[in-house]
Amino acid sequence: MADTNFVDYVKIFCRSGKGGAGSRHLRHEKSNPRGGPDGGDGGRGGDVILRGNSQLWTLLHLKFTKHLFAGHGGSGASNQSTGADGKDIYVDVPLGTVVREEETEKFIFEITGDGEEKILVKGGRGGQGNTKFKSATFQTPRFAQPGEPAIEGWFILELKVLADVGLVGFPNAGKSTLLSVVSAAKPKIDNYPFTTLTPNLGIVSYREDKSFVMADIPGIIEGAAEGKGLGHRFLRHIERNSVLLFMIPADTGDVVKEYNILVDELKKYNPELLDKQRVMAISKCDLLDEELTDAMRPLLPEDIPVVFISSVTGTGITVLKDILWRAINS
């Protein structure tokens, strides 16, 4: 997916429809000039509804359509006719979309299922016609209810990519290269920081026609939790991954130090991220000989699975898939 086409954060203004007014109509007929009240109820105002769509990967379609107005309910009429309901507005969004109030940033809901529908702003109820107020002691009510007003406001839509495995690492750790090797995804790859500016998703084929989704998250830098670099823009995507694959290149100065920096950034952003399953891959292991590999092993973390891989030669890729599959399904 092209960087320019990936939008994971938008602000939209939504207004529901107001309810239609109830009718105050009094029936007048030659045979019955005092026929009494026959005003119908007003129609309900339309809702603004968000709907999950598994075919969408971005909020791009909302970037230039920021004002969404539902239809107003129609007024009631004579012969107890109910006014027409206002038209609902349906807004398709990618799975993993989180909705918040713009002013307070209060969480409202999230959309995680294909076809899942949730009302963002509800239309006003239609007012009752004067017929509803008739009683044995009050035969000719000449009033009716107005419809309920519309609801409006600004809202934040924020996409958190849904994937089984999220790739975590500094820029140029080999994340995009790995994704291009294990899936059909074609992320931009080059030897400079922040080649990946937006998440890339790939479907990784596994044994016996099984598969899982892997997300290449833009590279973390120290201070990301405070917003440095791309900051929160990419850290939020990691929240929706089941397993975190820490990728550290074999030619880094201190593998353990780099791993600890990555863990610390995730902890600062959201401590719950550390509850996720973790796997470490030492990438670019084609740069190491057997002696250097053996010397590095005792220094690596003992509490998570570690595998040496090379996306260039294919070394360790099958083993890595096995480890990830077990982690996803544990």
Residue 203 has pLDDT above 80, yes or no: yes
Residue linked to tokens 């105002």: 45
| Residue 182, CA distances (Å) to 21, 193, 195, 286, 327 in order | 60, 22, 19, 17, 17
Res 196: pLDDT: 43
Res 291: pLDDT: 87
Q: What's the pLDDT tens digit per position in 94-142?
A: 998 999 999 998 999 999 999 999 999 999 999 999 999 998 888 889 8
What is 163-328's CATH number? 3.40.50.300
Greater pLDDT, 237 or 57: 57
Question: Under a CB-based contact definition with an 8 Å cutoff, are residues 303 and 256 in contact?
Answer: no
Residue 234 has pLDDT above 70, yes or no: no
How long, in residues, is the chain? 330
What angle do the packed helices 317-328 and 175-182 form, to 10 degrees? 90
Lowest mean pLDDT among 212-216, 234-238, 246-250, 322-326: 234-238
Res 136: pLDDT: 82
Compute the mean pLDDT over every residue in the chain, rounded to the nearest whole number. Answer: 86
Q: Quick check: pTM over 0.95?
A: no
Q: What's the pLDDT tens digit per position in 36-45?
A: 899 999 999 9
Judge if 3-159 and 163-328 fold alike in CATH terms. Answer: no
Res 160: pLDDT: 81
Whole-number Å distance between alpha carbons of 147 and 131: 15
Q: Give the residue-averaged pLDDT of 163-177.
A: 85
Res 176: pLDDT: 83
In sequence order, which ranges of 210-254 are alpha helices (DSSP H)? 232-238
| Cross-strand partners of 91 | 50
Class of domain 3-159: mainly beta
| Residue 233, CA distances (Å) to 2, 9, 193, 207, 211 in order | 17, 9, 16, 34, 27
Res 252: pLDDT: 87
**Is the Cα dihedral 136, 138, 143, 148 positive or negative?**
negative
Question: Under a CB-based contact definition with an 8 Å cutoff, are residues 219 and 236 in contact?
Answer: no
Residue 191 has pLDDT above 80, yes or no: no
Residue 4 has pLDDT above 60, yes or no: no
User: Domain-by-domain residue ranges, the chain?
Assistant: 3-159, 163-328
pLDDT band for position 269 (cuts 50, 70, 90): confident
* DSSP assigned state of 269: H
Q: Give the residue-averaged pLDDT of 164-169.
A: 89
Whole-number Å distance between alpha carbons of 79 and 88: 26
Greater pLDDT, 181 or 119: 119
- Look up residue 101 and give its two tokens: 């109030």
Q: Give the residue-averaged pLDDT of 236-253.
A: 86
* DSSP assigned state of 19: P
